[in-house]
Amino acid sequence: MSSTSDKVKGTANEVAGNVKQGVGKVTGNDKLRAEGVVQEKKGEVQKAVGETKDAVKKATK
C-alpha cells in the first residue's frame, strides 16, 4: 500500500470512528462508542504508517 493510500484510509477510519462515537453517544449505545474509538485509533495508526513511509522515502533519496 502506498503512503498516500495509507493516509487516505487512515483519515476515512478516523472520520467513521468519530461518527460511530457520536451516534453511540446520542443513542446511549456504549458498544458503538467503543467501536468508534477503536476505529479512530486504527485510522491514526494507518496515517502514521503513511507518514513514516514518506519519511523513509525522503531519507533514502
Mean pLDDT for 5-13 is: 96
Instruction: Flag whether pLDDT at 38 surpasses 90.
Output: yes
Q: How does DSSP assign 43-57, residue by residue? A: HHHHHHHHHHHHHHH
Instruction: Identify the band that residue 61 occupies on the pLDDT scale cut at 50, 70 and 90.
Output: confident
Query: pLDDT tens, 11-33?
Result: 999 999 999 999 999 999 999 99
Report the mean per-residue pLDDT for the chain: 96
Tally of domains in the chain: 1
Domain that holds residue 42: 3-59
Asked if 29 and 41 count as a contact pair (C-beta separation under 8 A), the reply is no
Q: Which of 43, 49, 48 has its CA nearest to residue 13? A: 43
In the chain, the amino acid numbered 52 is T
